Structure 1
């Protein structure tokens, strides 16, 4: 998983949300999981988590992906 974009839509409650994740290398032999979320069409909130290895970042991203899918998010692009 290098990039993943998810959306969740609930028209009855006017809920249109997105969530995207990136795994990228850092400058000091570390890796980051960059997460962005918000309302579709609006700028989102961005947060970074740092990891020692790429595998750790991917595992964290996969756990987050699983949690988002349980909440009703669907993959739009990979």
Structure 2
């Protein structure tokens, strides 16, 4: 059971470099009930790419979620509403 929703959508834009990127993270349950972290990224307006990480417990998923969110913030990504 996931105790609270984990979802963040961030963007990084720089018109001088023609940069318009997004990065989204979400923790949810897989079809088999195990926690999984879904990462999506790409150019704003495009469907982009995604990868799913499966975990045995929610704690490990949250640790990776927070680590990736911290890393993206340090790279200049800013939270936005999806």
Report the TM-score when normalising by structure 1: 0.91
Which segments of structure 1 move beyond 3 Å, counting only runs of 4 or more? none
Query: Which of residues 44, 64, 67 is equivalent to 2:71?
Result: 67
CA distance in 2, matches of 1:15, 1:62: 24
Deviations 1:34-76 (A, max 9, x none): 0000000011101001111111111101000000001000011
| Structure 1 or 2: more strand by fraction | 1
Report the TM-score when normalising by structure 2: 0.87
Aligned CA-pair RMSD: 1.4
For 2:12, the equivalent position in structure 1 comes to: 8
CA distance in 1, matches of 2:45, 2:74: 23
Assess if the C-alpha contact under 8 Å between 1:29 and 1:52 holds in 2. no
Is 1:35–2:39 an aligned residue pair? yes
For 2:52, the equivalent position in structure 1 comes to: 48
